[in-house]
Structure 1
Amino acid sequence: MENKIKEMFPNWCNDDKKKYELILTDDIDSLVSCALLNKIKGYKINYFYDFETVYKIKDSDTPAIAIDCDLVNGRCWSNHVTMLSANDTVNSKSANLNNVLKISRENYYQKYCGSTAMQIWSFYDLPLPESEEGKMALLAIDGGYLGYYDKRFINIHSKYLNMLGFDELIEVLERHTKSEFYDFIQKHNLHKKIGVNRNGILTTQIDLATLQGLFNLDLSRPEKPFYISKELSRDWPTNLMSNKTYTKDDFPDMFSVALIYRNKVVFTKK
């Protein structure tokens, strides 16, 4: 990642003196990101958040970082657009290119549209996977390949890969088609979710064994059961009026938030 961009991220990202716990969310982007932070920093998963309920393994006084989730307040690594307008507030503890660069609803199509895992990979200067398939897997996470195959977004997509220091991934995209990435995702169930079963154990149909090999990364999930810690209410995609300026103050008690299209926001409330 370019140093001038890295310096804009929150100071806690480089804090080697303090230990944190991780809040896993419900997809492969979060799981790979948690595995990276465990490998780099030794942080462990103690919470799971499915965007309706927060679960925990045990009580803890250790501060936590939400992974692939944009909290309105608190530490998090993520990749969504959260500013509902250029005048909206941004979470100063959010490690998210879109927040760092002040991407909002008003310049939505200039957003970073890669994965949270790719940001972490870049921020901590990790070497890319050695194999072609491993590089494809990294691009496939959270649809991180899609912008390259849309003529409206190819330039901004390549700009961000350059910013992250991943020019090599542009060459991978040149060698493959959009349908090849789609087939890869279907083959390895990268689109499947992570959930909690009736015994509190995390379950998923994602092909973790293959990804572990491709990334040389431990993608095992906590074996201990999770228990309900906090229940939230989820507002399914809310349509925003195209001619109105919004801020988070228009939606009281937000816990986490993400613009999923320019005029649609989804959030949970305390």
Structure 2
Amino acid sequence: MKKEIKQKFPKFCQENLMKEENLCLSDDIDSLFSCIILQKLFPNLNIDVFYDFNNLYKTDAEVKKCIGVDMDLVRGKCWGNHVTVNNPKSANLNTILKIGKSNYTEKFAGSTLLTILSYYNIDLSNLTEKQLELLISIDVAFKQYYFNKDIFKKYYDEILEYPIFTKIVEKHDADYFYNIIKEYNLHEHIWVDILDNTLRTRIKLDKLGELFPSLSFNLPKNQFKVHRSFKIVQSSYLKHDEDEIFSCARTYKNALRYSIK
């Protein structure tokens, strides 16, 4: 990641401070893959909280400190990727670059996963083309290239310092990457099974494990029980005080989706 941008990330991201936290998983492959990478880098991290935007679940483990992963929290530590309200503890390129409603079309439309890989200077040069294609397929990150090549190159070539993704995407049309999404069920969600309180998904984790043999694509085996429930609000503007809001994402220039307590 470009040094000047990396220096603007919240302090909690620093390697010496990422060792005594719990992770909060959210409900998709961007979050799960990001958690897998964070746990690979920092083996002491455990996933003891799960958020599906309607409910916050916890295991029986004691959770003193927690980092939301692929979550745009209004307060508290988190890694995210949407345009959202300002949170000084959010490790989110859009927050750091002050992207909001007025400059929404200039946003980073990539994944939390690639933000994390870039922040920790993970070398991707030894990955196969298929592995790289899958990485840029997560969260439909490739899509921005077909809308605005210049902005795509700005983020991947200059800020993330991963120009390889420009070379990967320019070889194919969008359907090529949508087929990768279908092949691995990357569009599917993660949920809590009401029968045994364990996490379930239709994402093809076994196939991902075959593609990335050095990583373990397993959901936590713990039971997750509801800790707090939320109501989802979709609106063109914030109808509630920020103190009432847990997470918030601007899904379009004039559309917000947020959860309230």
Q: Does 1:226 align with 2:224?
A: yes
Q: Which residue of 2 aligns with 1:190?
A: 186
Q: 2:251 aligns with which of 257, 260, 267?
A: 260
Determine the C-alpha separation between the residues in 2 that align with 1:248 and 1:155. 36
Percent identity over the alignment?
Answer: 37
Q: How far has the Cα of 1:247 moved from its partner?
A: 9.0
Q: How far has the Cα of 1:75 moved from its partner?
A: 0.1
Residue 55 of structure 1 aligns with an amino acid whose one-letter code is Y
Q: Does 1:206 align with 2:224?
A: no
Q: Which residue of 2 aligns with 1:72?
A: 74
Residue 75 of structure 1 aligns with an amino acid whose one-letter code is K
Q: Does 1:62 align with 2:64?
A: yes
Q: Which residue of 2 aligns with 1:52?
A: 54
Q: 2:155 aligns with which of 160, 164, 169?
A: 160
Q: Which residue of 1 aligns with 2:140?
A: 143
Q: Which residue of 1 aligns with 2:236?
A: 239
Q: Give the unaligned 5+ runs of structure 2.
A: none
Conserved? CA contact 2:29–2:186, under 8 Å:
yes
Q: Which residue of 2 aligns with 1:86?
A: none
- After superposition, the CA RMSD in angstroms is 1.6
Give the 3-state SS of the residue equivalent to 1:105 in structure 2.
Answer: coil
Determine the C-alpha separation between the residues in 1 that align with 2:6 and 2:182. 34
Q: Does 1:5 align with 2:9?
A: no
Q: Give the unaligned 5+ runs of structure 1.
A: 84-89, 241-245
Cα separation, partners in 2 of 1:145 and 1:248, compared to 1, 3 Å: farther
| Count of residue pairs the alignment pairs up | 255
Q: Which residue of 2 aligns with 1:21?
A: 22
Residue 176 of structure 1 aligns with an amino acid whose one-letter code is H
Give the 3-state SS of the residue equivalent to 1:200 in structure 2.
Answer: coil
1:101-153: CA deviation from partner (whole Å, max 9, x where unpaired): 11001100000000000000110111226111100110000010001112xx2
What does 1:85-104 correspond to in 2, within 5 Å?
90-104=86-100
Q: How far has the Cα of 1:15 moved from its partner?
A: 4.6
Determine the C-alpha separation between the residues in 2 that align with 1:157 and 1:54. 34
Residue 10 of structure 2 aligns with an amino acid whose one-letter code is P
Conserved? CA contact 1:70–1:78, under 8 Å:
yes
TM-score normalized by the length of structure 1: 0.90
TM-score normalized by the length of structure 2: 0.93
Determine the C-alpha separation between the residues in 2 that align with 1:8 and 1:126. 19
1:57-80: CA deviation from partner (whole Å, max 9, x where unpaired): 124143000011111000000000
Give the 3-state SS of the residue equivalent to 1:213 in structure 2.
Answer: helix
What does 1:105-144 correspond to in 2, within 5 Å?
105-128=101-124, 130-144=127-141
Q: How far has the Cα of 1:233 moved from its partner?
A: 1.4
Cα separation, partners in 2 of 1:96 and 1:248, compared to 1, 3 Å: farther
Determine the C-alpha separation between the residues in 2 that align with 1:259 and 1:212. 32
Determine the C-alpha separation between the residues in 2 that align with 1:114 and 1:214. 21
Q: How far has the Cα of 1:180 moved from its partner?
A: 0.5
Instruction: List structure 1 runs of 4+ shifted beyond 2 angstroms.
Output: 212-216, 246-249
Residue 227 of structure 2 aligns with an amino acid whose one-letter code is S
Name the stretch that deviates more: 171-180 or 9-18.
9-18
Residue 91 of structure 2 aligns with an amino acid whose one-letter code is A
Residue 7 of structure 2 aligns with an amino acid whose one-letter code is E
Conserved? CA contact 1:79–1:113, under 8 Å:
yes
Cα separation, partners in 2 of 1:218 and 1:57, compared to 1, 3 Å: same
